[in-house]
Amino acid sequence: MNKIVVGFDFSSGAANAVDLAIDIAVRFATDLRLVYVMEKKEDEGPIRAEIERRNAAVAHLLKGINMDYVLRKGNPSEQLAKECEQLNASLLVVGTHGSAGFKKGLFGRNNYRTVELSPSPVLLVREDFNFNKKLEHIVLPLDSSDDTRQKAGQAALFAKYFGSTIHILGLYTSSSPSIRRVVNNYVAMVERYLTSQEVAFVKEFVEVKGNVTTDTLEYADRVNADLIAIMTEQESSLQNLIMGTFAQQMITASRIPVLTVRPKQVLTSSPTK
């Protein structure tokens, strides 16, 4: 894994993002970069002093890896995407805030824009994330879309390093036999892939009666999940188009950290057959 980028302001959500990013970076033996996007009237001196104070307080957690920081100016989403591109970062970690999504001070109303622009997978962490619980259960929802399997590689990578169990969730969004067969085939492919990677998993199929996001989150709550891995372009239905895409809804509604992956973004190989 290459360097991990962390979007940082002084919110509790951002602090949680840093803590989780450190844990991931130590496990993957990779370095971290904090990115603070300044507002026009902010004084650079106090910002640097506070970041350095906070970094010194967590230095004992780094265990041989390096964590630096940069100050940037401009649109936060664009600056984070640019940093990820320049570093060829493997992961972007950002903190979110309540039901409003990203913390207003860093992302404002353009929370999903960061996910859309990032050339790297994005891990979203709520400010009320429970760090006392290990990352034991990862939910991997699979529908009938062509790209749905690609996130399996990222989920497997996290599962290996954290010793997690992956919960494959087959989502039946239609009564059409052909669409259901596609979901069954994708689940079977992911099963074979996880077996080859020696990753523990279980599987379950759900009849989606209402909204894909709601049903996925209800399942995640039922299995006490610690992470949900999704694609940014997910199967759409009329209801999802009215209410917003699956990824947008999940980012806003989930209390559980969400790993978002755009098609073709990979940390490792993903199942294709």
Choose the final residue of a domain: 106, 126, 146. 126
Cβ pair 259, 227 in contact under 8 A: yes
CB atoms within 10 A of CB 221: 12
Q: With respect to residue 218, please indicate whether it lies within any of the assigned structural domains.
A: yes
Choose the final residue of a domain: 126, 161, 184. 126
Residue 198, helix vs strand vs coil: coil
Q: How far apart are CA 133 and CA 177, in angstroms?
A: 40
- Residue-level pLDDT at 110: 53
Q: With respect to residue 131, please indicate whether it lies within any of the assigned structural domains.
A: no
Cβ pair 201, 167 in contact under 8 A: yes
Domain identity same for 121 and 151: no
Give 1-36 pLDDT, tens digit per residue: 789 999 998 888 888 889 999 999 999 999 999 999
Host domain of residue 34: 4-126
Rounded to two decimals, the pTM is 0.86
Residue 242, helix vs strand vs coil: helix
The CATH number that applies at residue 176 is 3.40.50.620
End-to-end CA distance of the chain: 24
Cβ pair 135, 162 in contact under 8 A: yes
Give 63-91 pLDDT, tens digit per residue: 999 999 999 999 999 999 999 999 999 99
Give 98-151 pLDDT, tens digit per residue: 443 334 434 334 567 888 899 999 999 887 776 667 889 999 999 888 888 889
Number of domains in the chain: 2
Domain identity same for 152 and 87: no
